[in-house]
Amino acid sequence: MAETVSKMIPLGTKAPDFQLPDAVTANLHSLEDVRGEKGTVVMFICNHCPFVKHVADEIVRVANDYRVLGFGFVAISSNDVNEFPEDHPDLMWQFARKHNFTFPYLYDRTQITAIDYKAACTPDFFLFNSDLKLVYRGQLDNSRPGNGIPVNGRDLREALDAILNNRKIPGPQKPSVGCDIKWKYR
C-alpha cells in the first residue's frame, strides 16, 4: 500500500461549500446541511483503503461522542470508481452500514470537492470552527495499520476538546497518512 501524506493547508482557510449526494439516502447535502453549531469535521475517506478500514470504527465513535456536543460530521469519497470500483456509491452505502455511520457519506463524482479542500489522502481530516474557519487538519491519531499503536482518535479529539473549552488547539498538528486519492485526470 502506497502511503501519501495530507497537505497541511493554512489554518484559517474558509471551508469550501459543496452539494453532493449521500450514498446511503441519495439525498443531496451541502456544507450548511452538515454544519455543526460548535464546528464541523469534513473527512475524506473511501471503502477500499486499509488506512480507512483501520480507523473506521473510531471515526464513528468520535462522531457519536462529539455530535451531541454540537459538532457536525461528514465523510466524502472522491476516488475514481472507474479505476477503483470497490469505491463505487453502490458499495459506499454498504461500508457505511457495516460501520454504523451516523453521518452522511457523500460521493464526489467530479472530484471538485476534493480539489477545493486540497485533500490528498484517505483518511484526511479537516476541522472547522463555528465560523467555518480551518482550525485543525491532519491525522486522527498516531495509529497506522500494523504499527501496534491503538486507535483512539487522540489528535482529532484534542482539537475538538479545545474548541469546546475555548482553548488553543495543541500543536504541532501532524499530517494524516493514507492512500492517495485516486484522481481521474492527474
Q: What is the pLDDT of residue 18?
A: 98
- ∠ CA 65-138-50, rounded to 5°: 80
Half-sphere exposure of residue 24: CA atoms within 13 angstroms, side-chain side: 17
In the chain, % of residues over pLDDT 90:
94
| % of residues, the chain, pLDDT over 70 | 98
Q: What is the pLDDT of residue 171?
A: 84
- Three-state SS for 25? coil
In the structure, what pLDDT confidence band is assigned to residue 3 with cuts at 50, 70 and 90?
confident
Put residue 12 in one of left, alpha, beta given phi > 0 → left and psi -120 to 50 → alpha.
left
Radius of gyration of the chain (CA): 15
Domains of the chain, with CATH numbers? 4-180 (3.40.30.10)
Q: How confident is the model at residue 186 (pLDDT cuts 50, 70, 90)?
A: low
Cα 97 from Cα 39, distance rounded (Å): 25
The overall pTM is greater than 0.85: yes
Longest dimension (CA), the chain: 44
- Condensed to tens digits (0 to 9), the pLDDT of residues 82-102 reads 999 999 999 999 999 999 999
- Calpha distance 46→56 (Å, rounded): 10
Q: Read off the amino acid at residue 109.
A: R
pLDDT of 44 above 60: yes
Q: Each residue of 162-184: pLDDT tens digit? A: 999 999 998 899 999 999 999 99
Distance of alpha carbon 71 from alpha carbon 8, whole angstroms: 22
Looking at the predicted structure, is the pLDDT value of residue 24 above 70? yes
